[in-house]
């Protein structure tokens, strides 16, 4: 029988753990090629389907971090270890790790925008000799919204990591920064613009103003990479839900350099 890329397949949930009150990470049995920054379509029969970024992967598993935001994710939240979810994909073009090797790599994320680049950050944290310098800036709304706390603790040992929240609400136990990510970009010292590569992932407004800060510092648009979140229904450029002008985000993206990214306006 011909393999149809549009038919979801049943995958067993190997583990489940909460990140925040709204975000849960699922470790799902998975065999197949994956690339950082691509996405899978996750579904429950008779309920619905949604594109979910891959937050990590390895031999025999894929990690999906899902936020509770509607009918489908409400149902996914009822799934436990040993249950099954349906997946199809992967789809899209992700981040090419080779693009960032031997460079000064700067990664800036806002909220759940950390999920699509988590595996890339893990890679360069574990292989810090493959980058000349590694700066990470992670922004969240509040301390209770911080994702991947164990991973962040590990990254702090191998890279220059800044974690900031919009508001700590005078929380005495919060030891990191307070303020928007744009307030801390100046803390990253760039010696050679030709060696810099910047990744920015978050909400549209967060990406807009973060990219503007890097442009002010003279970073070329071709060296700034963004990831677009869209309603990607078919995943193969046929339904048109994610189409912006002549670009299908599900096929041509979701990762773009800013030369292309700045033209993608609804």
The domain ranges of the chain are 9-91, 97-261
Nearest-angstrom CA–CA distance, 142 and 155: 20
Say if residue 164's pLDDT is above 90.
yes
Say if residue 109's pLDDT is above 70.
yes
114-141 average pLDDT score: 96
| CATH class for the domain made up of 97-261 | alpha beta
Say if residue 246's pLDDT is above 50.
yes
Q: What is the pTM of this model?
A: 0.92
Q: pLDDT band for position 70 (50/70/90)?
A: confident
The predicted structure's pLDDT at residue 171: 59
Q: Which residues of 56-85 are buried (b: 16+ CB within 10 A; e: fewer)?
A: bbeeebbbbbbbeeeebbeebeebeeeeeb
Pick the CATH number of 9-91 from 1.10.3730.10, 3.90.79.10, 2.60.40.1180, 2.40.30.10: 2.40.30.10
The predicted structure's pLDDT at residue 1: 42
The predicted structure's pLDDT at residue 265: 78
Nearest-angstrom CA–CA distance, 23 and 19: 5
């Amino acid at each position: 029988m011909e393999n149809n890329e549009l038919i979801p397949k049943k995958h067993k949930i190997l583990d489940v753990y909460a990140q925040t009150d709204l975000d849960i990470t699922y470790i799902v049995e998975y065999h197949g090629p994956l690339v950082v920054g691509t996405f899978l379509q996750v579904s429950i029969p008779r309920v619905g389907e949604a594109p979910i970024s891959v937050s990590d992967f390895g031999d025999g598993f894929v990690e999906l971090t899902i936020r509770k935001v509607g009918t489908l994710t409400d149902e996914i939240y009822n799934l436990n270890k040993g249950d099954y979810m349906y997946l199809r994909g992967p789809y899209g073009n992700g981040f090419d790790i080779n693009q960032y090797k031997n460079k000064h790599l700067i990664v800036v994320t806002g909220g759940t925008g950390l999920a699509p680049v988590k595996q890339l950050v893990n890679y360069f944290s574990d292989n810090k000799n493959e980058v000349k310098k590694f700066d990470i800036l992670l922004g969240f709304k509040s301390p209770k919204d911080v994702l991947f706390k164990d991973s962040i603790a590990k990254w702090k040992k191998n890279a220059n990591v800044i974690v900031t929240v919009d508001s700590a609400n005078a929380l005495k136990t919060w030891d990191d920064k307070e303020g928007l990510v744009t307030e801390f970009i100046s803390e990253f010292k760039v010696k050679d613009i030709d060696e810099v590569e910047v990744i920015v992932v978050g909400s549209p407004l967060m990406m807009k103003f973060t990219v503007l800060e890097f442009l002010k510092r003279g970073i070329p648009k071709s060296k700034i990479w963004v990831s677009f979140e869209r309603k990607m229904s078919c995943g193969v450029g046929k339904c048109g839900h994610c189409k912006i002008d002549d670009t299908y985000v599900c096929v041509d993206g979701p990762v773009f350099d800013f030369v292309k990214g700045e033209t993608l306006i609804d």
